[in-house]
Every structure is written in structure tokens, then in C-alpha cells.
């Protein structure tokens, strides 16, 4: 089910959501931006998004990804030090989604938040339901992208859980736009995805965060942050994604 | 010579020799000052001191503030032992609502609330009282600013049918944890002795609106103490459920298996160990087969160096085997590894 927010307390404008809602959990997908200099944001202690009735009236803590832009020019070379981290998020009541306010990066300007999250209730009187892990297979006309063995999905009728972990890229393609087929990805997945990881020289408290996109079973990533392939900063995607079906 | 107030003279008010005369709604009311009997507990002394302090602060209010309290009191009613609602003065209401607020850890409010507030009534599905456990289950949750006030008695003879006058406040700030409220420690601290199986415990409970001090209706209940609780807490791994004789690599842990959804809920501070990018938590109890498996969750660095790096973690949940207790391994996967890292949120399980 798609819906729009009815308001928020941090000056983010109308936010469009995709959702899958059940009695005891919801999967929500949205991408939003806000300006940390806005008076609404400045006045807020917790970021609140007001929405039409959800199927649950509160949730345990979930995680959403925030990203700031930090792109510098150095002697004609573009030096992308964009980064971000995980923010805590929860459903406060049927009509309010809350996001932790983290002010560490307010001076960076516009912030993007990716809500690709599952919000669950607890004490529902049953055990967790086990899914099935499926290794995600990828293909390219010329193979230049390699993914780690921790690249997989768990499929449900109306949503999936996706984890992708970057392995390596052929040197000649490291600065090119990337594209690869996700051969067995379940249908109906379209989303912008934060690609977390890679060193961040100018913002060492966090890793870099790039943006990728999935549509029609094709993965694309136009650019990566400067330290994307730094050793020990393994880039990954972690998302609960609603299917368009 | 002291002139005692007399009901023969309308409009007479004042106190003398422990007798107080006051005018309420055109009626003259005389009341004798009550003195508590028995030895006061520390909590009672604190409560009385608080009431006295609040009452004394009435004179510090402005005329306008006092007028607002009087105005609100005209619409508020108080409990009466005479079978009819008693009139309240502005000062009565000021003391009563602020005493409730102070009891819940709030400050005294000088300004009267805008109006009377409808406070919901307490609803729960079960209460279990054993010598080792005092727990409410299935509490219908109310969000802040509501807190549940629980009053309980010590164990009474099972033949007693009306023992609610023997209840004392166990806690004025119970907040249910997904419908559960384990008040065992609070009960033992207040009552001092474990409940005795076969005996009866009386319970009063109500919601307190901590923003205004108004309360809901008192829900009265009683329960026979049992030897073992029929109440089954939800399945979780918490610090007090870790194996005491094993080295643990988490400084806090709450792994909750009660979602009924395709996820486990994590809230764990992974400290790491040696030079391995993982942490182990060894469990006191075995992990049943249906809860064993693999799960994934997000992590965020929480180091003293201020690192907030986003990470992904894989969790392996094992049952007891080869002489080892059940354990959960939290292994770093994506992002830069930070010690410690808080792993939180829902994790898919397979």
C-alpha cells in the first residue's frame, strides 16, 4: 500500500511511502530530505513523521540510514566524502513514525534519510517465523563487479530482505557507472539504496555512503565515495524492501 | 481560653485545638484533625513531608494562579467516605494533583491544568504472584505521560474478602514492557517479605497522568499466591539470563523472540574480544531448535573515539552442544569494525 505523510515536525515536506502492513509488523520504504537549518528541525527533539493509520500502534526500535553530502573539488578532481550512519527509528503510535535526532552532521547541509525498514511489535505470543536464504546471483556482459558470499535475499510474498556486500571491481571500471543484472531477485523491487561503507578521510567518525538503485532487476550505481574500496570498510546494502505486487 | 468554632454560626471558619471549621458550598463543615496510628514507614514519612511542602507552597502562588485552581476545583470532585462526592477547594486540588506528580518524580506545577483530564482505566489480562515473582501480564499499554500506580497488600488470609485498605504503594511509575510489568523487586522492597503460597494479596491499580496529576479509576483485584507462576514471560535473552560461568563479550543484551514475525529483535552492545571481529554471549538456558538459526541486523559504532560507523552484523544462534551452553555469536560483516558496536533493530531469521 502506498501513502503520503500527513505532516512532520522537521520541515521535510510531504513524504511518499511504500508499505506492507500486517497485524504485528510493517515494512516501510521512503526517501526524504530535510534542511538542518530549518526552524522546525531546530525545534524538534525527535523527528516525527505523521502518517495515516498504520496497522500497528507502536513498534520496537528499527534502523534507518542517514546520509550527508560532502563533495569537494581538489585540483580538478572531485573528492566525494559523503557519509552517514544508522539512526534509530520506531513507530510511536498508529499515526507517528519517530526518528532519532542526531545533530553531529548538521553543519553539512541537506540530509537524506532512507527508510528501508521493518518495524515489529513484540510480545505477540509466537516464535519468529523463519525464512529461506537465497544467494543472489548477478551477471554482466563483461564481468567487472564481484560480490561477497554474504549477498542474498529472503523472499516473502509482499516484501524481501536484501543484504549485498561488495567484493571487488576490475580496476578499469572503478570510476565508471556500474550496472549489473540481479538475475534471481524477486519481482517488483524498485528503490534507491544507501550503499554504506568505504573509508571517509574527511569524516572519520563514519564510513562513506554512496547511493545505488534497483529497478527491473538491474542494479546501478553511478558514483561511489572516494574511499569506497578501502580495505576493511566493506561496503554493504541492508534493506527491507516492499514489492510492487 | 480558646473559642471553639461552632456550626451555630454560619460563615465561621478556622482551626483550634485540632478542630477545623470550613465553609463549603454554603455548608459549615467541622473536622477533627487526624493523627496517624502505628509506626510510619519511610515512604509514609516522605509522602507526608511532600504533602506538607506542597501545601505550604500554595501561598507562593499569585492570586491569578490561585483563582485558576479554584476555577478548576469547581469542576473537579473528590472521593468522600459519606457516599457522596465531596467538594474540593482550589488548594485541595493543588495539593492532590501535585502530590501525584511528585510521587511520579515530577516537579510541583504552579499553574492549574487547563481542565479536568479523562484518564483511562487500568486493564490487564493476568497477574501472577509467587514467592519469587510478582508480575502483571497483558497490560493494555498507555503511552507517556501515563504511568501505572500499583498498590498491593502483604499476604492476607484467603478468607478475607475486603483487604484493600491494607494496600500500600508498590510503585507509582510502572511502565509496562510490551504488556509485562515485573514488579517483584519493588514488591519485596516495599512489603519486606515474600508472598506466602495459599494466602491472598490485594491489589489496586490506576493510571496517573504525570503531566497533570489526574488519575483514572482505581481497579481493585485480589489474587491467591501460588507456589509456581502460571504466567510465562516472553522468550528473551537478557543479561540476567547469561551463563554466569562463561566469559561474555557483550555489556548489555536484549534479544527478543516474541515478534511472531519473520524477525528477532536485537538490542546488544558488542564489546568484541581478542583480535576477532565478533562477540559471543553464552546463555544460561538452552535455545530451543525453533529459535536457532542465522539472523542479520544493523550496527552502529559506539566507541569512546566517537565513531558512529554503520555496519551489518550476522548472528548465529546455537543450542547447547559438545558440553557448551547455548550461545549467540555476533559477527561483523559490512562497514568498518568498531569496538564496541551497538547492534539493534529487527533481524531476519532463517
Residue A110 belongs to domain with CATH number? 2.60.90
Contact at CB, A122 and B306, closer than 8 angstroms: no
Residues A143 and A235 grouped into a single domain: yes
Identify the closest residue of chain B to A164 by CA–CA distance.
Answer: B334
Residues A108 and A159 grouped into a single domain: no
Contact at CB, B260 and A127, closer than 8 angstroms: yes
- What is the sign of the dihedral through the CA atoms of B8, B13, B14 and B18? positive
Average pLDDT over residues A195-215: 97
pLDDT tens column, B176-207: 999 999 999 999 999 999 999 999 999 999 99
Structural domain ending residue among the three candidates A96, A120, A144? A120
Residue B2, pLDDT above cutoff 50:
no
**Cβ contacts (< 8 Å) between B335 and chain A: which residues?**
196-197, 207, 233-236
Is ipTM over 0.90?
A: yes
Which B residues in the span 200-239 are in contact with A, Cβ-Cβ below 8 Å? Answer: 234-235
Question: Is the distance from CB of B294 to CB of A133 less than 8 angstroms?
Answer: yes
Residue B323, pLDDT above cutoff 60:
yes
Range of the domain at A227: 133-242
Q: What are phi and psi of B333, to 5 degrees?
A: -125, -80
List Cα–Cα distances, B261 to A46, A121, A125, B130, B257, in angstroms: 27, 8, 10, 31, 9
| Burial grade of B205 (CB within 10 A; 0-12, 13-18, 19 or more) | buried
Lowest mean pLDDT across A148-157, B7-16, B59-68, B213-222 = B7-16
What whole-number percentage of chain A has pLDDT above 70? 100
pLDDT tens column, B258-303: 999 999 999 999 999 887 899 999 999 999 999 999 999 999 999 8
Which helix (H) or strand (E) segment holds residue B87: the answer is none
**Cβ contacts (< 8 Å) between A127 and chain B: which residues?**
235, 257, 260, 290-291
Residue A147, classed as helix, strand or coil, is: strand
Query: Cell 510510619, residue?
Result: B40
Average pLDDT over residues B71-81: 73
Nearest to B90 by CA among B55, B48, B47: B55
Residues A210 and A161 grouped into a single domain: yes
pLDDT of residue B12: 62
Residues A145 and A182 grouped into a single domain: yes
Please state the length of chain B.
Answer: 350
Angle formed by the axes of helices B63-75 and B90-103, nearest 10°: 90
Residue B77, pLDDT above cutoff 90:
no
Identify whether A125 is part of a domain. Answer: no
Residue B78, pLDDT above cutoff 80:
no
CA A154 to chain centre: 17
Q: Measured between alpha carbons, how far is A63 from B341 in angstroms, rounded to an integer?
A: 14
Taking the Cβ of residue B18 and every Cβ of chain A, the question of whether any pair is shorter than 8 Å is answered with no
pLDDT of residue B158: 94
Q: Measured between alpha carbons, how far is B78 from B183 in angstroms, rounded to an integer?
A: 29
Question: Is the distance from CB of A25 to CB of B259 less than 8 angstroms?
Answer: yes
Contact at CB, B335 and A236, closer than 8 angstroms: yes
Identify whether A52 is part of a domain. Answer: yes
* DSSP 8-state class, residue B180: B
Taking the Cβ of residue B257 and every Cβ of chain A, the question of whether any pair is shorter than 8 Å is answered with yes
User: What is the set of domains in chain B, with CATH numbers?
Assistant: 1-35 (no CATH), 126-224 (2.60.40.10), 236-349 (no CATH)
**Mean pLDDT estimate for chain A:** 97
| Burial grade of B175 (CB within 10 A; 0-12, 13-18, 19 or more) | middle
pLDDT tens column, A64-79: 999 999 999 888 888 9
Query: Cell 468554632, residue?
Result: B5
Residues A173 and A200 grouped into a single domain: yes
Q: Which residues are within 8 A (CB) of B274 and not within 5 positions of it... i.e. 6 or more apart?
A: none
pLDDT of residue B25: 63
Query: Cell 546501478, residue?
Result: A220
Identify the closest residue of chain B to A150 by CA–CA distance.
Answer: B333
Average pLDDT over residues B211-233: 90
Amino acid at each position: 500500500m502506498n501513502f503520503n505523510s500527513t505532516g512532520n515536525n522537521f520541515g521535510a515536506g510531504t513524504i511518499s511511502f511504500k508499505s506492507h502492513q500486517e497485524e504485528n509488523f510493517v515494512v516501510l520504504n521512503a526517501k526524504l530530505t530535510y534542511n538542518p537549518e530549518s526552524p522546525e528541525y531546530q525545534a524538534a527533539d525527535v523527528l516525527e513523521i505523521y502518517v495515516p493509520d498504520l496497522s500497528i500502534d507502536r513498534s520496537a526500535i528499527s534502523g534507518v540510514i542517514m546520509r550527508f553530502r560532502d563533495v569537494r573539488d581538489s585540483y580538478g578532481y572531485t573528492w566525494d566524502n559523503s557519509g552517514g550512519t544508522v539512526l534509530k527509528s520506531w513507530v510511536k503510535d498508529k499515526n507517528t513514525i519517530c526518528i532519532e535526532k542526531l545533530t553531529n552532521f548538521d553543519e553539512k547541509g541537506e540530509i537524506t534519510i532512507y527508510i528501508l525498514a521493518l518495524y515489529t511489535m513484540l510480545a505477540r505470543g509466537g516464535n519468529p517465523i523463519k525464512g529461506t536464504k537465497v544467494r543472489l546471483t548477478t551477471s554482466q556482459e563483461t564481468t567487472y563487479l564481484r560480490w561477497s558470499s554474504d549477498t542474498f535475499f529472503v523472499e516473502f510474498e509482499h516484501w524481501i530482505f536484501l543484504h549485498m556486500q561488495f567484493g571487488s571491481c576490475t580496476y578499469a571500471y572503478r570510476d565508471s557507472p556500474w550496472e549489473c543484472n540481479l538475475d534471481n531477485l524477486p519481482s517488483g523491487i524498485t528503490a534507491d539504496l544507501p550503499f554504506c561503507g568505504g573509508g571517509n578521510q574527511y569524516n572519520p567518525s563514519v564510513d562513506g555512503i554512496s547511493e545505488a538503485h534497483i529497478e527491473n532487476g538491474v542494479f546501478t550505481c553511478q558514483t561511489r565515495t572516494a574511499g569506497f574500496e578501502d580495505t576493511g570498510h566493506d561496503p554493504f546494502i541492508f534493506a527491507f524492501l516492499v514489492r510492487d505486487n | 481560653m480558646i473559642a471553639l468554632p461552632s456550626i451555630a454560626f454560619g460563615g465561621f471558619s478556622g482551626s483550634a485545638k485540632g478542630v477545623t471549621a470550613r465553609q463549603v458550598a454554603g455548608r459549615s463543615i467541622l473536622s477533627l484533625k487526624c493523627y496517624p496510628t502505628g509506626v510510619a514507614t519511610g515512604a509514609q514519612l516522605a509522602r507526608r513531608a511532600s504533602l506538607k511542602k506542597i501545601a505550604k507552597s500554595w501561598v507562593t502562588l499569585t492570586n491569578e494562579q490561585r483563582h485558576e485552581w479554584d476555577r478548576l476545583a469547581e469542576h473537579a470532585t473528590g472521593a468522600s467516605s459519606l457516599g457522596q462526592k465531596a467538594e474540593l477547594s482550589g488548594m485541595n486540588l493543588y495539593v492532590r494533583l501535585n502530590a501525584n506528580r511528585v510521587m511520579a518524580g515530577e516537579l510541583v506545577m504552579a499553574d492549574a491544568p487547563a481542565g479536568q483530564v479523562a484518564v483511562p482505566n487500568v486493564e490487564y489480562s493476568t497477574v501472577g504472584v509467587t514467592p519469587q515473582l510478582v508480575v502483571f501480564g497483558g497490560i493494555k499499554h498507555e503511552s507517556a505521560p501515563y504511568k501505572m500506580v500499583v498498590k498491593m497488600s502483604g499476604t492476607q488470609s484467603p478468607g478475607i474478602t475486603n483487604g484493600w485498605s491494607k494496600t500500600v504503594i508498590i510503585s507509582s511509575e510502572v511502565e509496562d514492557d510490551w504488556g509485562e510489568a515485573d514488579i517483584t523487586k519493588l514488591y519485596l522492597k516495599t512489603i519486606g517479605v515474600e508472598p506466602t503460597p495459599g494466602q491472598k494479596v490485594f491489589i489496586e491499580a490506576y493510571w496517573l497522568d504525570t503531566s497533570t496529576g489526574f488519575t483514572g479509576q482505581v481497579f481493585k483485584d485480589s489474587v491467591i499466591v501460588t507456589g509456581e507462576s502460571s504466567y510465562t514471560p516472553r522468550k528473551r535473552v537478557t543479561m540476567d539470563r547469561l551463563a554466569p560461568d562463561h566469559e561474555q563479550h557483550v555489556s548489555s543484551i536484549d534479544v527478543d523472540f516474541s515478534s511472531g514475525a519473520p524477525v528477532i529483535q536485537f538490542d546488544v552492545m558488542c564489546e568484541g574480544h581478542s583480535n576477532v571481529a565478533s562477540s559471543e554471549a553464552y546463555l544460561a538456558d538452552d535455545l530451543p531448535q525453533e529459535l536457532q538459526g542465522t539472523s542479520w541486523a544493523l550496527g552502529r559504532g559506539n566507541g569512546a573515539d566517537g565513531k558512529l560507523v554503520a555496519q551489518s552484523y550476522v548472528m548465529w544462534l546455537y543450542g547447547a552442544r559438545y558440553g557448551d551452553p547455548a550461545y549467540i555469536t555476533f559477527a561483523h560483516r559490512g562497514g568498518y569494525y568498531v569496538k564496541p558496536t551497538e547492534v539493534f533493530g529487527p533481524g531476519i531469521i532463517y
